[in-house]
Amino acid sequence: MFGLPGSTAAHLIAAGRPAVVDVGSAATSDDLIAGLEAEGVDSLDSIVLTHIHFDHAGGAGHLAARFPEATIYIHERVAKYLTEPEVLIEGVRSVWGPKTDELFGLPKAIPAERVRGLADGDTIDLGDRRLHAVATPGHTRAHMVYLDESTGAVVCGDAIGLQVPGSRVLRAATPPADCSLPDALESVERIRALNAESLYLAHFGLAEPNPDTVCDEAIAALRGWREAYERERELSDGDEDLVRRMHCALEAGLEPVSPAVRSQFEAINPAWLNVDGMNGEARRLARQKSA
């Protein structure tokens, strides 16, 4: 993604009925297709998405066109955006601006008969195993993780956050437009309760060192970002100053990483995006209190 290796992972489950979980953006779909073909994958039974964000689901229509036999699965709340992506496109442009098309590419609409909406607890039959869907709101309301019952692996999307190659530090992911700290914390505990053998992140790959410690770190990162945000918001002179103050907080110890790792975090999930999401949550809470 964005020309940066090791930024966004797709997860191939080489089951009796092969599946891919998360597919990246439209801009990286050719790379994913080439990678699958290099692995000898000539058919897919399932294209499974953790959530609707462009860096996870934007390439779904492109992959679906290459593998016309595949069924596409996503949370039932957002399944309509795979078949009619126009509203989603405009929503992403409202966040990322005129660079949206260049950064992510644009999704292709998928015929409605190929899309299946999932609810919490649903399973996907992969022939020699099942994939269990677990609702994990927080990063966004319609987020799911998937447990591979054969291996004990859980593909987590963005529910845990980011951990890029070269570092075990996790960055929280709180983007617009509907992130929720209470839901995110509860979802991390739901993932912990799965007693997974391993956790896989969209950004990027196998989480280290082990699932329980990773869950602890995810909770600490979510709480740390929120505490810093609330403190700096009280002192800031607007959103631009708030983002600057958050960068200072990160460098002062909130996020103890090397400059190279921080640069990669900022490329994939910039601080301004997290601040924008927390601003949105703060406005929702204020409206609820005044209602």
Are the beta carbons of 58 and 104 closer than 8 angstroms? yes
Residue 202 in any domain: the answer is yes
CA triplet 183, 165, 226: central angle to 5 degrees? 30
| Within-domain flag for 5 | no
Which parts of the chain sit beneath pLDDT 70? 291
pLDDT digits (tens, 9 = 90+) for 179-188: 999 999 999 9
Total domains in the fold of the chain: 1
Predicted pLDDT of residue 187: 98
Interhelix angle 211-235/239-249, nearest 10 degrees: 130
Helix (H), strand (E) at residue 277: helix 271-290
- Cα distance between residue 30 and residue 32, in whole Å: 5
- How open is the CA angle 60-63-69, to the nearest 5 degrees? 110
Residue 80 resides in a domain = yes
Q: What is the model's pLDDT at position 65?
A: 97
Asked if residues 132 and 190 have their Cβ atoms less than 8 Å apart, the reply is no
Question: Can you give the length of the chain in residues?
Answer: 291
pLDDT at 291: 66
Q: What is the CATH number of the domain that holds 129?
A: 3.60.15.10
The DSSP bridge pattern shows strands 46-48 and 19-21 to be parallel
161 found inside a domain: yes
Handedness of CA 30, 35, 39, 43 (dihedral sign): negative
Domain that includes residue 175, residue range: 11-218
Note the pLDDT tens digit of each residue in 111-163.
Answer: 999 999 999 999 999 999 999 999 999 999 999 999 999 999 999 999 999 99
Residue 205: inside a domain: yes
- CA–CA–CA angle 35, 59, 219 (5° rounding): 90
Task: Judge whether 106 lies within some domain.
Answer: yes
CB 95 within 8 A of CB 276: yes
Q: Are 85 and 55 in contact (CB under 8 A)?
A: no
Residue 84: inside a domain, yes or no?
yes
Identify whether 234 is part of a domain: no
